[in-house]
Chain A
Amino acid sequence: MKDMVWIALTANGNSFAENALEALNVTLVGMVTIFAVLALLWGIIELLHRILSSGKALAKEGKAGKAEPPVSPAPTAPAASPAAQTGDDGALIAAITAAVSAAMAEEGYTGGFRVVSFRRVPPRGQGRF
């Protein structure tokens, strides 16, 4: 009798139990697939981020290692770079003026001088255009 009622309720040709089973089957497979695909994408994005971050860190270390030797012999340079980074023009002008004065003294010039202007020289290989 129950079967007859269920068959009467369904117009798609299946019994209620068959429809319920099919619905459960598709729902389970569907939700598991969606979670699996999106979780996999999460994992790949995280992995990519870590690889890129570690690559950047290595590159930074490499650059820092290469940059240190030329800086160390010049005593005036370390004083100049922090000033340049902070954008303190007064300190930068003082450092440059001291460096020019020292260089001129080495060449035997003892007279006074005045810094009228200074401009940044572009690094090698970088043209204006």
Chain B
Amino acid sequence: MIDSIRTFLESTGIARLIDSGWLPSLQTLVMLLIAGVLVYLAIGKGFEPLLLLPIAVGMLLTNLPGGGMFHLDLFLQPEVDYLEVFRTGGLLDLLYLGVKLGIYPCLIFIGIGAMTDFTPLISNPKSLLIGAGAQLGVFVAFSGALMSGQFTGAEAASIGIIGGADGPTAILVTKTLAPDLLGAIAIAAYSYMALIPLIQPPLMKLLTTKKERSIRMTELRKVSFVEKIVFPLVVTAVVGLIVPDALALIGCLMFGNLLNVCGVTDRLSKTVQNGLMNAVTVFLGISVGATASAENFLRGETLLIIALGLVAFCISTVGGLLTAKVMCKLTGGKINPLIGSAGVSAVPMAARVSQKLGQQEDPGNFLLMHAMGPNVAGVIGSAVAAGVLLAFY
């Protein structure tokens, strides 16, 4: 009886925590604390709750000693032994297969495509250039990470893509190039996306004049049904031909959009926007959170990743704003540079920030639809940037 009780007590998480030594125990407690902070940010502050909450729970599950729910080492080998994953893996190992094989980010992109209205972009295709300019942060952060000497080219590329302000894109690149950094990069990417209303406005005010912020843009033209149908097909073909590594993301994004605009697949469109998107978001969040184990997360590089991620976001915002300012000059003041900051993907939060700042200067100025053009162009731009980085590494 006493032996049974002793065996049971030795199998508890508390005993394992104590047995693991003071440093690993402390690290585990810190990770549990971080998971708690993320839960608070998601529920208490409403920061990207749909993703931060599953990430926090994944982090909690993976760091509780003895659970054995996730084994990142199974996936870090050059040739993953999938039979071994099925034989010895826990629930989170099996869910992580969707990340490792690049399935979840693509399925999420189908849902995003179905939920996104591309008509502001088709109506004003010049916005595409702003979406391109707003990828500057990706490459500046990549350069910073590489030149710091702390990261390989592949790891630096994964850090840089945080500047694309697109969670699924960051996850797809990182799972391919630097899977051991996935937890830190995903958490940084989603946290900064949630903090856009705090990060962007100071930069927007700094780089624009009061006169520029007050510019009223002309109404967008109507987009025909044929244009809406041809647009996703053309984007898929062009991007696929020039940057094939971006085809998985762009193809899925445009497929989702086609389901939405064609008018004959409403059931499919609603399914990918709701049921599929929600289910995949749960699987993606919880399995990405599971990669944030103490030994992977609590290291000096994580702080550097978080700092470089912030640099990437800021420089991307600056890149978009400067591109919009140049376009403002070239068009004789027809473009409000505030829409430039929306070039950093993060739909529709970044566009809302442009609208809000525009209305602070002129309450009658409605920039939201004009900012949605660069915003969705940023999604395409960040996918192309991801394709370029994947092609290099």
Do A and B associate with each other? yes
Which of B140, B235, B385 sits near A34, CB closer than 8 Å? B385
**A48 in contact with B143 given A34-B135, A37-B384 (CB within 8 Å):** no
B53 to chain A, nearest CB (A): 33
Is B358 an interface residue when CB atoms closer than 8 A count as contact? no
Is A39 an interface residue when CB atoms closer than 8 A count as contact? yes
**A42 in contact with B243 given A26-B139, A33-B388 (CB within 8 Å):** no
Known: A26-B143, A33-B384. 17 other contacts (CB 8 A): A12-B146, A19-B149, A20-B143, A23-B143, A23-B147, A23-B156, A30-B135, A34-B381, A35-B129, A37-B238, A37-B239, A38-B380, A42-B125, A44-B238, A45-B234, A48-B234, A52-B226
- Bound complex: CA A42 to CA B125 (Å): 5
- Bound complex: CA A16 to CA B143 (Å): 11
Give A14-25 as 1s and 0s: 1 = Cβ < 8 Å from B's Cβ atoms. 101001101110
Contacts of B388 in A (CB 8 A): 26, 29-30, 33-34
Is B205 an interface residue when CB atoms closer than 8 A count as contact? no
The reply to whether A33 and B227 contact each other, CB–CB distance below 8 Å, is: no
Contacts of A35 in B (CB 8 A): 129, 132-133
Number of A-B contacts (CB under 8 A): 110
**CB-based nearest A residue for B128:** A38
Question: Which residues of chain B from 1 to 26 have any CB-CB distance to chain A below 8 Å in the complex?
Answer: none
Question: Which residues of chain A from 16 to 65 have any CB-CB distance to chain B below 8 Å in the complex?
Answer: 16, 19-20, 22-24, 26-27, 29-31, 33-42, 44-46, 48-49, 52
Is B136 an interface residue when CB atoms closer than 8 A count as contact? yes
Give the interface of B toward A (CB within 8 A).
Answer: 122, 125-126, 128-129, 131-133, 135-136, 138-140, 142-143, 146-147, 149-153, 156-157, 224, 226-227, 230-231, 234-235, 238-239, 242-243, 377, 380-381, 384-385, 388-389, 392
Is A76 an interface residue when CB atoms closer than 8 A count as contact? no
Contacts of B389 in A (CB 8 A): 26, 30
Which of B125, B224, B238 sits near A46, CB closer than 8 Å? B125
The reply to whether B139 and A31 contact each other, CB–CB distance below 8 Å, is: yes
**CB-based nearest A residue for B127:** A42
A128 to chain B, nearest CB (A): 23
**CB-based nearest B residue for A45:** B125
Counting chain A residues whose Cβ lies within 8 A of the other chain, the interface size class is 20 to 34
B10 to chain A, nearest CB (A): 40
The reply to whether A42 and B129 contact each other, CB–CB distance below 8 Å, is: yes
- Bound complex: CA A60 to CA B380 (Å): 36
**CB-based nearest A residue for B145:** A23
Question: Which residues of chain A from 46 to 97 have any CB-CB distance to chain B below 8 Å in the complex?
Answer: 46, 48-49, 52
Is A11 an interface residue when CB atoms closer than 8 A count as contact? yes
Contacts of B152 in A (CB 8 A): 12-13
> Can you spell out 10 A-B residue pairs with CB atoms less than 8 angstroms apart?
A11-B149, A26-B388, A29-B392, A30-B388, A31-B136, A34-B385, A35-B133, A39-B128, A46-B125, A49-B122
The reply to whether A38 and B151 contact each other, CB–CB distance below 8 Å, is: no
A60 to chain B, nearest CB (A): 14
Is A105 an interface residue when CB atoms closer than 8 A count as contact? no
The reply to whether B132 and A39 contact each other, CB–CB distance below 8 Å, is: yes
- Bound complex: CA A38 to CA B383 (Å): 11
